[in-house]
Amino acid sequence: MFIIQKPHAKANISKTIRFTEELNNRMIALAREEEVSFNELVIQCCQYALDHHSKDAREEDRDD
């Protein structure tokens, strides 16, 4: 389960990414609701995705 934590380690590397309007709006709303910055939410979402990424699922996709 994804649980937003406060605060997170300092982020000091700048990147430019592009979101769909819908995803951007949903993330802004969630960040406000959870009282974290948009940047903090993006970092935690990425970390969660990487922590829960399945190497086995990638290998199954290659076999198809």
How many Å apart are CA 17 and CA 48, to the nearest integer?
A: 18
pLDDT tens digits along 1-36:
777 776 666 778 899 999 999 999 999 999 999 999
Instruction: Please tell me the pTM assigned to this model.
Output: 0.71
Tell me if 27 is assigned to some domain: yes
What mean pLDDT do residues 34-62 have?
84
Residue 31 to residue 38: CA distance in whole angstroms: 6
How many domains does the chain fold into?
Answer: 1
Residue 35 placed within a domain: yes
pLDDT of 60 above 70: no
Chain length of the chain = 64
pLDDT value at residue 41: 94
Is the per-residue pLDDT at 64 higher than 70?
A: no
Residue 55 lies in a domain: yes
Does residue 57 belong to any structural domain of this protein?
A: yes
Which amino acid is it at 16? T
Residue-range definition of the domain harbouring residue 48 = 21-63
Closest CA relative to residue 34, chosen from 8, 5, 2: 5
Is 30 within the bounds of a domain? yes
Q: Which residue has the higher pLDDT, 61 or 38?
A: 38
